[in-house]
Amino acid sequence: MSINRSWMYKRLADRGLLNEDFKEGVNEFLQTALNLYPSGVIACPCRKCKNKKSLTWDIVREHLFEKGFIENYYVWGAHGETSNSNGLVYLDGASSSRDNTSELPYDPYKAMFEDAVRNEFPPSTQDGMHTNDDPTPMAESIHEMLEMTSQPCFDGCPMTELSAMTEILNLKTEMDLSEAATDRIIQLVNRFFPTHIPNRPIQNFKKIKRKLSLLGMKHQSIDCCPNGCMIYWKADNELMECKFCSSARYMINNQSNTSIPLSRMEYFPITPRLQRLYASETTAEKMRWHKDHHTEQGVMRHPSDAKAWSHFDNLYPYFAQDPRNVRLGLCTDGFQPFGQFGQKYSCWPIIVTPYNLPPGTCMKRQFLFLSVLVPGPKNPAKRIDVYLQPLIEELKELWEVGAITYDALSKEYFNMRAILLWTVSDFPAYAMLSGWSTKGKFACPYCTEFTEAFWLRHSRKHSWFDSHRKFLAGDHPFRLDTQNFTKGKAIMYGPPLQRDGSYCYGEMDALMLVTELGGIEHNKVAGKDIGWKKRSIFWDLPYWKDLLLRHNLDVMHIEKNFFENIFYTIMGVPGKSKDHTRGRMDMEHTCHRPSMARDRQGKYPKAPFILSIKQKEALCDWVDSLKFPDGYASRLGRCVEMEHLKLFGMKSHDCHIFMQRLLPVAFREMLPTGIWEAITEISLFFRDLTRKTVRVTDIEKLKLDIPVILCKLEKIFPPSFFDPTEHLPIHLPDEVLLGGPPDYRWMYPFENFLGSVLKTKIGNKARVEASIREGYLLSEMGTFASYYFPEEVTTKARRVPRFDDGFMINDDATISIFAQKAKLIGAGTRRYMDQDESNAVHSYVLRNCPEIDPFREMFSNATGIIASDEVQFQAQFPIWFYHHVQTNNVSHPRWIRALSRFPSPYVTTYQTLHINGYKFNTVARSEERVTCNCGVMVKCTSHDGLRLDYYGLIHEIIQLDYQDYKVIVLKCEWFEPSDRGTRVHPLYDIVDVNIQYRLQTSDCYILASQADQVVYVSYPTAKTRTNKWLSVIHCLPRAFVEKVLAGSSTHVDEQPLAFQQNEPGNSFETGFDITIHQHMDDLLLCQRKTLLSIRLHLKDWGLVCRTTN
């Protein structure tokens, strides 16, 4: 770049013509500015605008040609330049549209506009930008929107046209308002305008959509064959009928002489959506997280920690070296837009999501991108590849060529590449995507033709009974058992070897794509005796054969189906139980079960795993009475049908909670021990498998355990019980080792997206796909615009979480005891705290404040009382601490002086508290609600380092007052921690508490910040005597996600939790000494005697327990 800029003020040559040097210099100036502002919008430095207006580059050029530069603008400060001490000029590469300069203050709406259109002008398109003097349509649209960024709605109005339009757009999309309702709101707003303003900038929502079109992203409508044979795309775009079935492309309207496509798919390119992730510094930084984070060896919290990810990095190091390259996952599932009892219509969205993002952000709703919308009303089945063609073409381009993308974090362009890592779907859709048939004998895609499945003649289906002994250890006794499994059969061989991608790719040679002419007919013959029924279009991706995990088994549906089969079989529900007459007949032919064989009267006896009528009644009553913490699970009582003694209408998450948490509790008192143990083990298997953080050693142990568990179930249930669902868990640990935690590979977030986003966009049920398309495109625009709204504007992303912890209760807290972040709900009640209660709670507060440890040492040195003498130490230290701090001439910090005084005897009590992501209620409050939030657990350590967990119930939530500092404590009733009050199952770590034995102590307080939440569930029983034991179920905080970088925890934006799988070993745990003294009464007596002995040093009790008004 030239240092001599004298040409800037030599605009005109002879005869009033523009100087050629001035023309070249202006073009050089524009090129320099556009390198930093690729959107084409820059500050205009002409004599009239003086860098106070931002215009498109072509209009800036016209202004400069007409008016020239402002005076002394040799350093282009408003366009990214700075000047050093020597007077030389250089570009500041760190500048961006968001940098604040003295000439051009930061405007969030201008920044939004520039970020939205930045990738429309990659560097390759800027070289010849000055060769055409006519503004392009894009430039005209840019200029129109740019004017809206600075044009107020009317003189004196603080809102510009752009800000008003984007807020209305966001309001419509987030509230799912119809256009008619939005127009009514606009009309109401316009009536607030001053009467002297005749022209309203916003007339209706159509005008808003037109003016904000640049904020939206591309989409393409593609005509399809109504039978799903082909799409009219690329070379077939001009065809008028299907080349497969000869169906017409259009329906001709003779009256209007127009052609209406009979079927049309919607395609939403993923490249601009991925590019927009790099347009913001925040998301651009998060997209690098997978490369920057550090995880303990052998621990997996994210797919980037798993084997499949690192394997691909090793194969393609040039792709892995740039962390901005994107790894994608694909999911598809069908839904009925008209509900279960409405018109039969199947709509199939295809969703793509990036996996570069960190936990807590990855899989969130705004990062699930609708890519393809397959038209209904029929299931596309194996023809789904027809609709995947544009997406596969784009994925190939992103792999082979890439896309020039602006990175807001590094302020540079880079070539973004992307790969598809795997697909996620339920088992029927697994067949649609992979081409492997999930029906019949070869339904298992891992066992393939080496399956042990066989045909049940009477049940008329295939069974996977006795298919799991081959996965056992070589010396396991089950292998030689010829009585409890298949009659006379011993297993001496191992499991089948897993086929790699190259082997599978070779098997495709005999098959054709369904997009090829004659492909379906050819595959019917070629795939008759093998599991592959088509050549999947995913094999067109060059890297597909190199992936270790191409298609995921969906843990969500496997767990749901497994639970339903177990539960309905044990309950003996007609039509859903797997134990029926035909199944018993098959069992007699397959295995030796004398206790379940036909008797002399030709009847089959009740199986030992079937409940009696009284047991079923007790179980249904128990389910109806269950109460969980708010937000933990839905009310399962709504699913109880007492008339037929069954459960109905259970959602996937209901089954998830029941399978992992309630199944061992429900049947412990009702089934024989051997049967209960097998059912408990499969429950714990799914619980351990679906943890947020998994260890490789734990998953390898699960891999060894699951064959044993399934074999135990085979010894209990008949062969008709074992469908593919009961077999597939054998392969789930292998998939976790390859892909990481199931959180990122199951259907919960995708089904939530279908139900809460796409279904709500269907305004016109006669045009389902068009309604979803319009609604989704508008929601993308509204969500993107909301990132730039002022703080006072409320949006979904900014809404207060359901259990908001509020703010720090002490603004200037400098120590841990006062640094509590909590939110007290409701009006508090003031009450008086007697002397003993005040002594007890104050003693506990001091014990849990490590910042006063030096004073404890001083006390021990002065009195000779050591910490191990807990009664004497805790009785005398608070009084000594007060006397030492208040009477010494040493200047102590304000918090020490406040803490040394006993709390005010007047405290405020509350019924509800939000803290640590939990919602806590008192027992009295929980009794009058359908939820139960009063259970609490605290992890305790003694002076000698012993660990002991205490379980209790919250009776009071108390706010203490230490002068100007406040502390929240919980007054609890604790279950006795001894063997008679608390028991832990030696095999399954199930914790129970006995309601008859409570801890008799006055030391019943804990800090609110130390509490974990639990819920107590009784054991259902048909016996007359009541079981005094309650099972403890641990709860995770809502919206609480483990932070991987430092091993700590952090709150993130709330989203519906589909699971509760981590035990409190990963939840908040204090490192302080929080021993609960069982001999607190002795301590209080000792402390009262100590008070008498030092009364001469204290004027009165009011000095110690200072009352605050």
Distances (CA, A) of 998 to 705, 844, 925, 989, 994: 38, 20, 21, 21, 8
Element spanning 299, H or E:
strand 299-300
Of the pLDDT bands very low, low, confident and very high (cuts 50, 70, 90), residue 425 is: very high
Q: Which residues contact 888 (CB under 8 A, 6 or more apart)?
A: none
Of the pLDDT bands very low, low, confident and very high (cuts 50, 70, 90), residue 121 is: low
* pLDDT score recorded for residue 107: 76
Is the pLDDT score of 641 beyond 70?
A: yes
**Size (the chain), residues:** 1109
What's the longest Cα–Cα distance across the chain?
122
Q: Is the peptide bond before 377 cis (omega within 30 degrees of 0)?
A: yes
Give the closest residue to 454 by CA, choosing from 726, 719, 721.
719
* pLDDT score recorded for residue 122: 64
Q: Which residues contact 575 (CB under 8 A, 6 or more apart)?
A: none
Is the pLDDT score of 148 beyond 90?
A: no
Q: What is the rounded average pLDDT of the residues 819-825? A: 87
* pLDDT score recorded for residue 829: 94
Question: How many Å apart are CA 162 and CA 215, to the nearest integer?
Answer: 11
Question: How many Å apart are CA 543 and CA 502, to the nearest integer?
Answer: 11
| Torsion angle of the four alpha carbons 1005, 1007, 1013, 1018, in this order, in degrees rounded to the nearest 10 | 0
Is the pLDDT score of 585 beyond 60?
A: yes
Is the pLDDT score of 1099 beyond 60?
A: no
pLDDT, tens digit, for every residue of 214-245?
888 889 999 999 999 999 999 999 999 999 99
Asked if 437 and 309 count as a contact pair (C-beta separation under 8 A), the reply is no
Least confidently predicted of 287-301, 315-329, 334-348, 924-938: 334-348
Q: What is the rounded average pLDDT of the residues 711-717? A: 96
CA 433, 439, 444, 448 torsion-angle sign: negative
Positions of E strands within 458-544: 461-463
Give the closest residue to 620 by CA, choosing from 632, 612, 629.
612
Distances (CA, A) of 218 to 119, 371, 470, 780: 12, 11, 52, 11
Question: How many Å apart are CA 142 and CA 160, to the nearest integer?
Answer: 16
Is the pLDDT score of 308 beyond 90?
A: yes
Which tokens is 990 given?
């199930």
Of the pLDDT bands very low, low, confident and very high (cuts 50, 70, 90), residue 14 is: low
Q: Which residues contact 324 (CB under 8 A, 6 or more apart)?
A: 278, 284, 287, 288, 405, 407, 414, 416
Is the pLDDT score of 1070 beyond 70?
A: no
Give the closest residue to 961 by CA, choosing from 1027, 876, 904.
904
Of the pLDDT bands very low, low, confident and very high (cuts 50, 70, 90), residue 135 is: low
* pLDDT score recorded for residue 455: 96
* pLDDT score recorded for residue 86: 39
Higher pLDDT, 76 or 102: 76
Question: How many Å apart are CA 307 and CA 286, to the nearest integer?
Answer: 22
Question: How many Å apart are CA 477 and CA 612, to the nearest integer?
Answer: 33
* pLDDT score recorded for residue 170: 92
Is the pLDDT score of 908 beyond 60?
A: yes
Of the pLDDT bands very low, low, confident and very high (cuts 50, 70, 90), residue 655 is: very high
* pLDDT score recorded for residue 764: 86
Of the pLDDT bands very low, low, confident and very high (cuts 50, 70, 90), residue 136 is: low
In three-state secondary structure terms, 120 is helix
Asked if 435 and 532 count as a contact pair (C-beta separation under 8 A), the reply is yes
Is the pLDDT score of 105 beyond 80?
A: no
**Phi-psi region for residue 72, left (φ > 0), alpha (ψ -120 to 50) or beta?**
left
Q: What is the rounded average pLDDT of the residues 130-139? A: 53
Asked if 1017 and 1036 count as a contact pair (C-beta separation under 8 A), the reply is no
**Burial call 566-603: b when 16+ CB within 10 Å, e when fewer:** bbbbbbbbeeebbbbeebbbbbbebbebeebeeeeeee
Of the pLDDT bands very low, low, confident and very high (cuts 50, 70, 90), residue 360 is: confident
In three-state secondary structure terms, 453 is coil
Is the pLDDT score of 548 beyond 90?
A: yes
* pLDDT score recorded for residue 892: 83
**Burial call 432-455: b when 16+ CB within 10 Å, e when fewer:** bbbbbbbeebbbbbbbbeebbbbe
Q: Residue by residue, what is the 3-state secondary structure of 75-105?
A: CCHHHCEEECCCCCEEECCCCCCCCCCCCCC
Residue 906's CB is within 10 A of a number of other CB atoms, namely: 14
**Burial call 336-362: b when 16+ CB within 10 Å, e when fewer:** bbeeeeeeebbbbbbbbbbbbbbbbbb
Q: What is the mean pLDDT of the chain?
A: 85
In three-state secondary structure terms, 396 is helix
Positions of E strands within 776-862: 807-808, 821-825, 829-832
Higher pLDDT, 31 or 273: 273
Question: How many Å apart are CA 75 and CA 5, to the nearest integer?
Answer: 9
Question: How many Å apart are CA 122 and CA 129, to the nearest integer?
Answer: 12
Q: What is the rounded average pLDDT of the residues 337-352? A: 86
DSSP secondary-structure letter at 903?
P
Question: How many Å apart are CA 969 and CA 817, to the nearest integer?
Answer: 11
Bridge partners of residue 1032, in order along the sequence: 1016
Of the pLDDT bands very low, low, confident and very high (cuts 50, 70, 90), residue 890 is: confident
Parse the chain into domains and list their residue ranges.
6-150, 282-446+500-553+745-761, 452-497+555-611+671-744
* pLDDT score recorded for residue 1093: 40
Q: What is the rounded average pLDDT of the residues 731-739? A: 97
Question: How many Å apart are CA 369 and CA 1007, to the nearest integer?
Answer: 44
* pLDDT score recorded for residue 943: 61
* pLDDT score recorded for residue 3: 61
Q: What is the CA 86 to chain-centroid distance, rounded?
A: 53
Of the pLDDT bands very low, low, confident and very high (cuts 50, 70, 90), residue 88 is: very low
Higher pLDDT, 1081 or 371: 371
Question: How many Å apart are CA 534 and CA 512, to the nearest integer?
Answer: 6
Element spanning 144, H or E:
helix 137-150
* pLDDT score recorded for residue 475: 92
Asked if 404 and 413 count as a contact pair (C-beta separation under 8 A), the reply is yes
Q: What is the rounded average pLDDT of the residues 495-502? A: 90
* pLDDT score recorded for residue 344: 86
* pLDDT score recorded for residue 1050: 39
Question: How many Å apart are CA 649 and CA 646, to the nearest integer?
Answer: 10
Distances (CA, A) of 331 to 282, 437, 761, 939: 26, 18, 19, 41
Distances (CA, A) of 884 to 624, 859, 887, 1097: 58, 9, 6, 11
Q: Which residues contact 776 (CB under 8 A, 6 or more apart)?
A: 268, 370, 757, 758, 761
DSSP secondary-structure letter at 111?
H
Question: How many Å apart are CA 849 and CA 816, to the nearest integer?
Answer: 7
pTM (two decimals):
0.85
Question: How many Å apart are CA 663 and CA 567, to the nearest integer?
Answer: 9
Share of the chain above pLDDT 90, in %: 53
Element spanning 377, H or E:
none
* pLDDT score recorded for residue 92: 38
Is the pLDDT score of 889 beyond 80?
A: no
Burial of 816 (0-12, 13-18, 19+ CB in 10 A): middle
* pLDDT score recorded for residue 15: 59
Choose from 38-52, 318-332, 504-518 the range with maximum mean pLDDT. Answer: 318-332
Asked if 871 and 1079 count as a contact pair (C-beta separation under 8 A), the reply is yes
Question: How many Å apart are CA 807 and CA 763, to the nearest integer?
Answer: 40
Q: What would you report as the CA-atom Rg of the chain, rounded to the nearest whole angstrom?
A: 35
Question: How many Å apart are CA 1059 and CA 445, to the nearest integer?
Answer: 27
Choose from 490-499, 563-572, 972-981, 1050-1059 the range with maximum mean pLDDT. Answer: 563-572
Burial of 385 (0-12, 13-18, 19+ CB in 10 A): buried
Within 13 Å of residue 74, how many CA atoms lie on the same side as its CB? 12
* pLDDT score recorded for residue 713: 97
* pLDDT score recorded for residue 1059: 44
Is the pLDDT score of 17 beyond 60?
A: yes
Compute the C-alpha angle 1030/1035/1038, nearest 5°: 150
Helices (H) and strands (E) in the chain, counts: 34, 37
Question: How many Å apart are CA 447 and CA 430, to the nearest integer?
Answer: 15
Higher pLDDT, 94 or 982: 982
Burial of 610 (0-12, 13-18, 19+ CB in 10 A): middle
